[in-house]
A and B are shown apart, each in its own frame.
Chain A
Amino acid sequence: MPAMMRRSQFSLFDPSLDNLSFRADSDDGGMAGNTTPTESSAFYDGRTGCNSNLLSGPVTYEWLSQADEARLNSSAEGFHTLHHKPVLSREAMNGDKPSSRFSVINEFNFWRQKPELAEAVAAIKALTAVIRRSEATTMMGLEIELKKAAETLKMWDSTSISLSAGCDLFMRYVTRTSALEYEDISAGKSRLIERGEKFGEISLKARQTIANLGQEFVYDGSVILTHGYSRVALALLKLAASQGKRFKVLCTEGRPDNTGLEMAKELMNAKIPVTLILDAAVANMMGQVDMVLLGAEGVVESGGVINYIGTFQTALVARSMSKPVYVAAESYKFARLFPLDQMDMSPTPRVVDLAVPEQEGRIKIHTSGRDYTPPQYLTLLFTDLGILTPSAVSDELIQLYL
Chain B
Amino acid sequence: MVATMPDVLPLVDDFCTKLNRRQVEGSLDTAKLALVLLRQVISAQRIPPNASAGVLIDAIKTVGVRMIAANPIELAVGNIVRRVLHIIREEDASLATTVVSGVTVAVDSDDEDNLDIREQASSHAVAAANRNVLRAPSLHNLLESNPSPVKADVTVASTGDSTDTKSRSGDKNSRSWKLKHNVIESINIMLNELQEYHLQVAEQALEHIHQNEVILTLGRSRTLLHFLLGAKKKRSFQVVVAEGSPRYQGHKLAKELTAEKLSTTLITDSAVFAMISRVNMVIVGAHAVMANGGVLAPVGLHMVALAAKRHAVPFVVLTGLHKLCPLYPHNPFTLLNDMKSPSEVLDFGELSDCLNGTTGGAESHVFNPTFDYIPPELVSLFITDTGGHNPSYVYRLVAEFYSPEDIVL
Contacts and interface: CB of A to CB of B under 8 A. Distances in A.
Interface in A161-212: 169-170, 173, 180-181, 195, 198-199, 202
B136 A219 contact: no
Contacts, number: 70
B142 interface: yes
Interface stretch (B102-110, B245-253, B391-399): B391-399
Interface residues of B, number: 24
A145 interface: no
Interface string A376-399: 000110001111111110011101
Contacts of A380: 292, 328
> When A and B form their complex, which 7 residue pairs have the shortest distance between CB atoms, in order from nearest?
A400-B139, A391-B392, A173-B143, A392-B395, A216-B330, A399-B140, A219-B331
Contact of B139 (A202, A217, A390, A399): A399
Interface in B144-162: 144-145
Nearest to A391: B392
Interface residues of A, number: 32
Interface of B: 120, 124, 136-140, 142-145, 291-293, 328, 330-331, 392-396, 404, 407
Given A170-B143, A396-B138, A400-B138, 20 more contacts: A180-B124, A181-B120, A195-B143, A199-B142, A199-B143, A202-B143, A219-B331, A331-B138, A331-B139, A331-B142, A379-B292, A380-B328, A384-B137, A386-B404, A388-B395, A391-B392, A392-B396, A395-B396, A396-B139, A400-B139
30 contacts: A169-B139, A169-B142, A170-B143, A173-B143, A195-B143, A195-B145, A198-B145, A199-B142, A202-B142, A216-B328, A217-B330, A219-B330, A219-B331, A331-B137, A331-B139, A332-B139, A334-B139, A380-B292, A380-B328, A385-B136, A385-B138, A385-B139, A387-B291, A389-B292, A389-B293, A391-B392, A391-B393, A400-B138, A400-B140, A402-B140
Contacts of B120: 181
Contacts of B395: 388-389, 391-392, 395
Interface of A: 169-170, 173, 180-181, 195, 198-199, 202, 216-217, 219, 331-332, 334, 379-380, 384-392, 395-397, 399-400, 402
A140 to B, nearest CB: 20
Contacts of B137: 331, 384-386
Q: Is the interface of B mostly helix, strand, loop or mixed?
A: loop
Contacts of B142: 169, 199, 202, 331-332
Interface of A is mostly: helix
A169 B141 CA distance: 10
A123 B292 CA distance: 34
A397 B124 contact: no
A389 B138 contact: no
A170 B139 CA distance: 11
Contacts of B393: 391
